[in-house]
Amino acid sequence: MEPPREDPPRSGLTIAYSRHRRQVAWADASDAELLEGLRRDDDLALDELMRRKTTRLVQLATRLVGDREDARDIVQIAFLRIWNSRHRFDRRFSPNTWIYRIVSNLAIDHLRSRASRLRSLQGFQLHDEHQRGEVSARQLDSLSASEVRSVFHELASTLSEKQRAVFVLREMEGLAGKEIAGILGIRPSTVRNHLFNSRKLLREELLKRYPEYAQTAGTRAGTRTGGKERP
């Protein structure tokens, strides 16, 4: 007498049901729990992390590299790297810090690979630094968030890769200096220096290309006296 055979359809349904239950469970998990799931080699934890983070990470990468299709490629590579390095996640960092570090580093590598082309677009020199710096400090602060993003994408080639990353993470992502330092693996004082220099370079180039902003800023400033860097 032949032994009973396992029913393939029933077995498949059982596996699918079990997988569905795990998916539902991961949907309610915290980011930290998802990373612990990755450490246990659970691919469904990665699926949930991708569902949860992809839109935001593509937005970040787009701001860093200036091209949405390149950004999508970077994020895909980032998730592959997250999976491959899942056992090396350092619990001292928050999940977002670790994930942002991977995406930011990939974006910086991408920018460096096209650095010669970007640098060829710079072609400007700084003149009358003190006088123009005072005026441009007022005019950049007068721009709306959408104007800052638009102008940044046009002028970002004037910045180094790290300056660009710091500016995006601080001014567009709203992260604190300490968190940015953790993401980029640099000192908080270096973050402040990069932020100061990136603001200054953008202001100078903005004033050069769009002098009308300086006039508008002067009207808006009214009784304000001079421009100061925001902390």
Each residue of 161-179: pLDDT tens digit?
Answer: 999 999 999 999 999 999 9
Tokens at residue 191, please?
């973050």
Task: Work out the pLDDT band at 87, boundaries 50, 70, 90.
Answer: very high
| pLDDT for 124 | 35
Task: Work out the pLDDT band at 188, boundaries 50, 70, 90.
Answer: very high
| pLDDT for 14 | 63
| pLDDT for 216 | 52
pTM: 0.72
Residues 6+ apart with CB under 8 A from 74: 61, 65, 103, 106, 107, 110
Q: Please, what are the domains in the chain?
A: 17-113 (1.10.1740.10), 119-221 (1.10.10.10)
| pLDDT for 224 | 40
